[in-house]
Amino acid sequence: MNPALTQFGAHMSKLTGVRAIMKDIIETLRAGAGQQFINLSAGNPLILPEVEQLWRDCTAQLLASPEYGEVVCRYGSSQGYAPLVEAVVEDFNRRFGLNLSERNILVTPGSQSLYFYAANAFGGYTTSGELKQIVLPLSPDYTGYGGVTLVPEALIAYKPTLDIDAAAHKFKYRPDFSKLSITEKTGCVIFSRPCNPTGNVLTDDEVKKIAALAAPYDVPVFIDSAYGPPFPALNFTQMTPIFGDNIIHCMSLSKAGLPGERIGIAIGDEQVIQVLESFQTNACLHASRYGQAIAARAITSGGLADISEQVIRSFYQNKFTVLESTLNEAMPKDLPWFLHRGEGAIFAWLWLPDLPTTDWEFYQELKRVGVIVVPGSTFFPGLEEEWKHKQECVRISLTGSDEEIVTGMQRLAKVVQQLYQVSAVSA
């Protein structure tokens, strides 16, 4: 069958960004039967034994409780399972001195769906035909934002400025406030903090500045805290979650070991939450109640926050250190290469200025030596302008073993050296 597709149908049936590359990666792994690949492309967190045990224990408690039937055999409210909503209210009020009520909370089936609701409720065409933009203030950012809007022309990302420490081969992106435009044309603002793919953490001041630019226009700012504290606490630098009248703090339990259960949580203004909740009722009724019930237990006991700080954070921070020190040893000293400061998340982001080929070709070269990373150009959703930098970066996942990371980075260093040498000779 080949039914005609609507504009939305055509748009939504295409995979964008990293999802499109994943197909190539899966095919490579399948076709290379026998060849051992070091796969540093995954966004899937590793299964850490302590984390798995926490979820097992919460599940055992749920199974043994009279609550079980009510949880899995019944529909529930779109806003979320009441014990989870209460657990979040209590935890956040105590931890951050807030004054939240249950009306400030929405539980969604994963946080990706939350950005889909937000992007389409606040971005796109208004009833009077005006285009409201979805602003990504700091590009590169999460590739998934490329797929969330039904109106692709609504997505606008801003080029960053670069803080470069040439001697240390390090750099950091910063929002370019001289260019960032948030006006009556803006529908909402979204950014990840810590950032996938770069590991960047916007400073408290930068976040407050963005929120202040949006406030006069009643523009909600969605802070994607999929890697933030208190869970999964994948920040390697000190950071405080920022709350405010127009800030929607968005969380995900995926990197805290529960990606299969699809739990996202939005915390913010009651009216914004209500809009998102209705969107959710129309789209899918509600998130899995089993996932919500075990999450409620893990949050109320304090177990989730403890394991995040004591196990999850140090696990990935150590991986970043292994990667960084291997690159420092193996990369040619005389070539320009820059690793983004590893401030959080589960990735490293490498920039190779004047790379003599594209990021896509570089990715293919690495595959030839058995290493899989993700070409960086997939992480600039909404940034249409030409910028060579977009083809000069790769994302390296920290989800390999230490040995895989060391070997993978040694092979990468060799490929880099060869590429620049060949280009110098042919020049």
Ligand X SMILES: Cc1ncc(COP(=O)(O)O)c(C=O)c1O
Q: Which positions lie near ligand X, rule CB under 6 A? A: 43, 110-112, 142, 144, 192, 196, 224, 226, 252, 254, 259, 264
In the complex, minimum distance from the CB of residue 59 to ligand X, in angstroms, rounded to a whole number? 19
Which residues partner with 347 through β-bridges? 397
Helix (H, G, I), strand (E, B) or coil at 38: strand
In the complex, minimum distance from the CB of residue 407 to ligand X, in angstroms, rounded to a whole number? 25
In the complex, minimum distance from the CB of residue 257 to ligand X, in angstroms, rounded to a whole number? 11
Q: How many CB atoms lie within 10 A of CB 2?
A: 4
CB of 226 or CB of 416, closer to ligand X: 226
In the complex, minimum distance from the CB of residue 33 to ligand X, in angstroms, rounded to a whole number? 28
In the complex, minimum distance from the CB of residue 104 to ligand X, in angstroms, rounded to a whole number? 19
CA distance 350 to 347: 10
E strands, 160-206, are 161-165, 170-174, 186-192
In the DSSP assignment, the letter for residue 22 is H
CA distance between the termini of the chain: 53
In the complex, minimum distance from the CB of residue 232 to ligand X, in angstroms, rounded to a whole number? 11
CB of 134 or CB of 416, closer to ligand X: 134
Contact 110, 258 (CB under 8 A): no
Residue in this structure with the two tokens 């990302």, named with its chain if needed: 157
| Single-letter amino acid, residue 23 | K
Which residues partner with 264 through β-bridges? 108, 252
Q: Under 8 Å CB-to-CB from 147, ≥6 apart: which residues?
A: 12, 15, 16, 17, 19
CB of 169 or CB of 341, closer to ligand X: 341
Q: How far is CA 123 from CA 116, 134, 173, 186, 306, in A?
A: 10, 5, 25, 8, 37
CB of 226 or CB of 373, closer to ligand X: 226
CB of 142 or CB of 171, closer to ligand X: 142
Contact 322, 405 (CB under 8 A): yes
CB of 197 or CB of 419, closer to ligand X: 197
CB of 169 or CB of 286, closer to ligand X: 286
In the complex, minimum distance from the CB of residue 27 to ligand X, in angstroms, rounded to a whole number? 21
Residue in this structure with the two tokens 């076709």, named with its chain if needed: 31
CB of 104 or CB of 111, closer to ligand X: 111
- Please count the helices (runs of H) and the strands (runs of E) in the chain: 14, 16
In the complex, minimum distance from the CB of residue 172 to ligand X, in angstroms, rounded to a whole number? 18
In the complex, minimum distance from the CB of residue 193 to ligand X, in angstroms, rounded to a whole number? 9
| H-run or E-run covering 248 | strand 247-252
Helix (H, G, I), strand (E, B) or coil at 310: helix
Q: How far is CA 265 from CA 114, 291, 359, in A?
A: 8, 12, 34
CB of 136 or CB of 156, closer to ligand X: 136
Contact 81, 292 (CB under 8 A): yes
CB of 352 or CB of 376, closer to ligand X: 376
In the complex, minimum distance from the CB of residue 288 to ligand X, in angstroms, rounded to a whole number? 12
In the complex, minimum distance from the CB of residue 224 to ligand X, in angstroms, rounded to a whole number? 5
CB of 259 or CB of 356, closer to ligand X: 259
| Closest-CA residue to 410 (of 350, 346, 326) | 326
Q: DSSP for 99-163? A: ---GGGEEEEESHHHHHHHHHHHHSEE-TTSPEEEEEESSSS--TTHHHH-SSGGGEEE---EEE
